[in-house]
Amino acid sequence: MVTAKGEELDRIIGLSTGADDYLVKPFSPRELVARVRALLRRSLRQGGRSPQLQSPHFQIDPQQREALRSQPGSDPEPLSLTTLEFDLLATFVSYPGRVWTRPQLIEKLWGDDFFGDERIVDAHVARLRKKVEPDLAQPTFIKTVIGVGYKFEDEADTV
């Protein structure tokens, strides 16, 4: 993550929401190169593959940018997701049970480049729900936490 936000709390939030590293602007190009090399070394130790994200009903491969939804008694089906829908689902699956506020999701998905109304998150969540939820009237996986935001739940006995 490269950002102008350099306070300790900003760094903690950035790293805890999935950033592999955190670099504050202005920065030295040599430091950036050194950090990228360190990340590449760690990646090569893992065999060059990003770890798969899994829940009882979803399998996500961040490196291949593929998402599958499993249903009992059938083969996993690929989900046709936009880039933002994929990132949103990967975020939710990475942190099951965590409640995400709209500003947190904006920071995670758009970063400092976002300009607009935070309600855009609602539109993207609605589109993602159409692709992953068996019943839109009663969401099973992506739940609304009234007055706060959204959380992902995936229990083995759902659906």
Predicted pLDDT of residue 55: 87
- Rounded to whole angstroms, the Cα distance separating 39 from 46 reads 11
The structural domain count of the chain equals 2
Show the domain range for 79: 53-152
Q: Are 105 and 150 in contact (CB under 8 A)?
A: yes
CB 99 within 8 A of CB 150: yes
What are the φ and ψ backbone dihedral angles of 35, each rounded to 5 degrees?
-70, -40
Judgement on whether residues 15 and 85 belong to the same structural domain of the protein: no
Is pLDDT of 49 > 80?
Answer: no
Residue 101 falls inside a structural domain: yes
Half-sphere exposure for 130 (CA within 13 Å, toward CB): 9
Q: Output the six-digit token pair for 139.
A: 């969401």
Distance CA 34, CA 88 (A): 29
The reply to whether 146 and 81 lie within a common domain is yes
Q: What band does 87 get if pLDDT is binned at 50, 70 and 90?
A: very high
The mean pLDDT value for 17-25 works out to: 82
**4 pLDDT band (50/70/90 cuts)?**
very high
Distances in Å between the Cα of 34 and the Cα atoms of 5, 19, 91, 115 are 21, 16, 27, 31
Sign (positive/negative) of CA torsion 124, 125, 129, 130? negative
Q: Assess whether 92 and 111 both reside in one domain.
A: yes
Examine the domain organization and report whether 145 and 118 are in the same domain: yes
Same domain, 64 and 139: yes
Residue 106: predicted pLDDT: 92
- Is 159 among the domain residues? no
Looking at residues 144-148, what average pLDDT do you find?
Answer: 94
91 and 130: one domain?
Answer: yes
pLDDT per position as a tens digit, 67-78: 999 877 788 899
Q: What is the pLDDT of residue 157?
A: 52
Same structural domain, 78 and 148? yes
Q: Do 9 and 30 lie in a common domain?
A: yes
The DSSP bridge partners found for residue 24 are 3
